A and B are shown apart, each in its own frame.
Chain A
Amino acid sequence: MSTLEEAKRAVVEDFSMYDEWLDKYEYLIELGKNLEPYSEEDKTEDKLIKGCQSRVWLDSRIENGKLFFKADSDAIITKGIISLLIGVYSGRDPKEIAEDDFGFIGEIGLKENLSPTRANGLVSMIERIKELAKSSIVTDSQDVLTAEDAKELAALYDNVVLALKQVYDPEIPVNIYDLGLIYELVINKRHEAFIKMTFTAPTCPMADEVLAEVKKNVADVPGITACEVELTFDPPWDQSMLSEEARVDLGLDG
């Protein structure tokens, strides 16, 4: 199998053969038509990518540590684009995919030349591929845990939660943990922490500072080797996510 760089270069070269956009479309349509079939029962809501005018489904599986994708779309040009992405990224190390910048898409002019709604769709497709790759890294490194590992991790989780409780939302006198802003906390066998969090509103002016503080506080916990923080607004935060303690602090109960 070619390397990721080689695969990307091959796509860029293929595209450079066509001057006319209609020819590029012909090529994408051809790719779309030749995409491996995708079963109807896998066209479920969780595999559907939001943000596209047409419907796109993307599914993945891990085999021997490599991440494989399959996909489908009801629109053929979109199907060609997803086929092109799969052709480049399927069967690779999830870490390599998660760390890639997907910059070659710009080189073939796909992003600029597709309609804005389609460009959004393309961005969403890339996001989904990266998400799947990231979550595969985590599950992979967690695979085999000994009893010793579990014991160590339990203590680490407690300490990381304590560290998170030191971070406050600048607007509300409650720490971000009790506010319910932490959606996911995973510590793997190598003691790397992965945090998925949100803010009470997407427009929080202090967002960058808070994210940096979370990262620093967690990374400083003795035993933690690294910390990655990801911001998400899916689902959006609401008051039901407050902890009991926070509800009392804010006087929301009774």
Chain B
Amino acid sequence: MRIQDIREMFPALSERVYGKPLVYFDNAATAQRLKTVVDKTSRLALESNANIHRAVHKLASDATEEYESTRDAVREFINAGSREEIIFTSGTTASINLVAFSLGEILVQEGDEIIVSEEEHHSNIVPWQMLCQRKGAILKVLGVDDYGHLKVEDLDSLITPKTKVAAVTHISNVLGLVNPVKQIVNICHSKGCPVLIDGAQGIVHEKVDVRDLDCDFYAFSGHKIYAATGTGVLYGKKKWLDQMVPYQGGGEMISTVKFSGTTYAPLPGKFEAGTQNINAIPSLKPAIEFLKLLRDSELQEETRGVKEYMERSFASLRMTEELKVKTYGVPRGTETKIPLYSFTVEGAHHEDLALILDKMGIAVRSGQMCAEPIMDRFGVTGMVRVSLAPYNTVEEVDYFVKSLDKAISMLV
């Protein structure tokens, strides 16, 4: 299989913007949508739209089957122990908020501590800050070094008997380095502290095995793995999910409701109150099929070529003396960096660069990327980020580099 075959699965990639072919390099924000994903959601909306689990009629049982078989597909894909450990949400943010509330309620008391890292997305900071405010707990931060590596060596001393949970990203959406999450989980567990992994970027680029990682929670979104927006997953170990209090009350999450008191549904229903995103959640199935397809060795070799070409281009940009291009998140040794490159150019504002690239048909991200603390860490107001997907080609990279060069010459 070749990149060209992949491209044909995404209708948006043949679009033109301002009369120029679209070069979509903002995949870490949201990936383009698979045709099979669009077909799945529209078929469900048009032909099998019924609320799940409740009614006895044909449409309802079709919709339920689509929804629940998606749970099995997700369970298998991340190798969770049981289907009850897969909770559907609206995305990574919702998954993390659920844990911050429901786990926080049973574990965290005044004076307790929660650990996050300096390179977290706002979605893996703010829910924990809110928990700290609610409970009078303290948020502690695991730092990042000058090259963009988590200071894992500091973790051991950061954890105290008062540390109740640690939340760390699998891959930072700014730095693109794969964090040693298995090691992090080990350290935390040796001190009795559960770990949530923000897998928003991790699920896209890594083969995730939650049982091998042994993490307590793993959160990710559908729209970054080519599925529909408004879909997300929370994996949680059964031992935690069983103890946790419900996050939202409503239909579906109950067993019996009396005015004298209500009993809750067993997992996973306990955490899926209200009508779920029934047309969109099943789009995770074709998305997962697609992710499996990407394991094709011929394709992997070709996409590796694109990545290396991008890295060589950046290296040569950096080498030009009069030009000060700085990239963030430098891999060391055997460390893996995903095809995600955040950079700044001295004398050229990130927003100016992104605006000019946009007019050339290239979609990149600029600004703080929802990760203000890491911007502060590196002393910048923002960066430009290019993030590639397996459908991006060498030609696109080439065009991007030439366009970037032109943009810089306009500005500096």
Chain A contact residues: over half helix, strand or loop, or mixed?
Answer: helix
Question: Which of A21-29, A146-154, A183-191, A237-245 is the contact stretch?
Answer: A21-29
**8 Å CB contact of B355 from A26, A55, A74, A118:** A118
Binary CB contact string for chain B from 353 to 384 against chain A (1 if under 8 A, 0 otherwise): 01110111000001100000000000001100
Is A76 close to B, CB under 8 A? yes
Is A54 close to B, CB under 8 A? yes
Report the minimal beta-carbon distance from B350 to chain A, rounded to whole angstroms. 8
* Interfacial chain A residues near B367, Cβ < 8 Å: 53, 117
Chain A residues in the interface with B (C-beta under 8 A): 21-22, 25-26, 29, 53-55, 74-78, 114-115, 117-118
* 20 cross-chain CB contacts under 8 A: A25-B355, A25-B359, A26-B410, A29-B410, A29-B411, A53-B351, A53-B366, A53-B367, A53-B382, A54-B349, A55-B381, A74-B381, A75-B350, A75-B351, A76-B348, A76-B349, A76-B352, A78-B351, A114-B355, A115-B355
Contact A22 to B359, CB < 8 A, known contacts A53-B366, A53-B382, A55-B381? yes
- What separation, in Å, do the CA atoms of A237 and B360 have in the docked complex? 44
User: Taking each of A75, A77, A115, A118, which has the highest tally of chain B beta carbons within 10 Å of its own beta carbon?
Assistant: A75
* Interfacial chain B residues near A54, Cβ < 8 Å: 349, 351-352, 381
Instruction: Please state if B359 and A74 are interface contacts (CB–CB under 8 Å).
Output: no
* Interfacial chain B residues near A29, Cβ < 8 Å: 352, 410-411
Chain B residues in the interface with A (C-beta under 8 A): 18, 348-352, 354-356, 358-360, 366-367, 381-382, 410-411
Report the minimal beta-carbon distance from B352 to chain A, rounded to whole angstroms. 5
**8 Å CB contact of B351 from A22, A25, A26, A77:** A77
Instruction: Please state if A74 and B349 are interface contacts (CB–CB under 8 Å).
Output: yes
Instruction: Please state if B349 and A25 are interface contacts (CB–CB under 8 Å).
Output: no
Contact A21 to B359, CB < 8 A, known contacts A53-B366, A55-B381? yes
User: Taking each of B349, B351, B382, B411, which has the highest tally of chain A beta carbons within 10 Å of its own beta carbon?
Assistant: B351
- What separation, in Å, do the CA atoms of A77 and B355 have in the docked complex? 9
Sorted nearest first, the 6 A-B pairs with minimum C-beta distance are A75-B349, A21-B359, A75-B351, A54-B351, A53-B351, A77-B352
- What separation, in Å, do the CA atoms of A75 and B384 have in the docked complex? 13
* Interfacial chain A residues near B349, Cβ < 8 Å: 54, 74-76
Instruction: Please state if B356 and A25 are interface contacts (CB–CB under 8 Å).
Output: yes
Q: A75-B352, A117-B367, A118-B355 are in contact. List 17 more A-B contacts (CB 8 A).
A: A21-B18, A21-B359, A22-B356, A22-B410, A25-B356, A26-B410, A53-B366, A53-B382, A54-B351, A54-B352, A55-B381, A75-B351, A76-B352, A77-B351, A77-B355, A114-B355, A115-B354
- What separation, in Å, do the CA atoms of A21 and B20 have in the docked complex? 12
- What separation, in Å, do the CA atoms of A77 and B381 have in the docked complex? 16
- What separation, in Å, do the CA atoms of A117 and B365 have in the docked complex? 12
* Interfacial chain A residues near B352, Cβ < 8 Å: 29, 54, 75-78
- What separation, in Å, do the CA atoms of A40 and B191 have in the docked complex? 50
- What separation, in Å, do the CA atoms of A115 and B366 have in the docked complex? 11
- What separation, in Å, do the CA atoms of A29 and B18 have in the docked complex? 20
* Interfacial chain A residues near B18, Cβ < 8 Å: 21
**8 Å CB contact of A25 from B348, B366, B382, B410:** B410
Nearest chain B residue, comparing its CB with the CB of A20: B359
Nearest chain A residue, comparing its CB with the CB of B367: A53
* Interfacial chain B residues near A77, Cβ < 8 Å: 351-352, 355-356
Report the minimal beta-carbon distance from A49 to chain B, rounded to whole angstroms. 14
- What separation, in Å, do the CA atoms of A74 and B354 have in the docked complex? 14
Report the minimal beta-carbon distance from B369 to chain A, rounded to whole angstroms. 11
Report the minimal beta-carbon distance from A67 to chain B, rounded to whole angstroms. 28
